[in-house]
Amino acid sequence: MKQNMGSVDRIVRVVFAVLVAVLYFTDSISGTVAIILGLFAVIFLATSAMGFCPLYVPFKLSTKKKDA
C-alpha cells in the first residue's frame, strides 16, 4: 500500500476522531448518531495511522506532497 495521505489530512482526521470521542463521553451525542460518528472516527483513526485512504484510490487522489 502506497501512502496517499498528507500530514494535514491525517491530523484533521485525528482531530475529528478526538472530537467525536469527547462529544460521546460528555453525553452530547448518543444513539444512532453516536454509533455512526463512532464508526467514522475509528475508520479515520485507522486510515490516519496507515497513511492510506482506500477511497482516494479510484479517484486517483493524494494529499501527500510529492518528493522533489
Q: What is the spatial distance between Cα 9 and Cα 58, in angstroms, rounded to a whole number?
A: 18
Calculate the dihedral angle through the C-alpha atoms of 20, 7, 65, 37, rounding to the nearest 10 degrees: -10
Neighbours of 9 (CB within 10 A): 19
Q: What is the spatial distance between Cα 11 and Cα 4, in angstroms, rounded to a whole number?
A: 14
pLDDT tens digits in sequence order for the chain, 68 residues long: 889 999 999 999 999 999 999 999 999 999 999 999 999 999 999 999 999 999 999 999 999 988 75
Enumerate helices (H) and strands (E) in the chain, giving the number of each. Answer: 2, 0
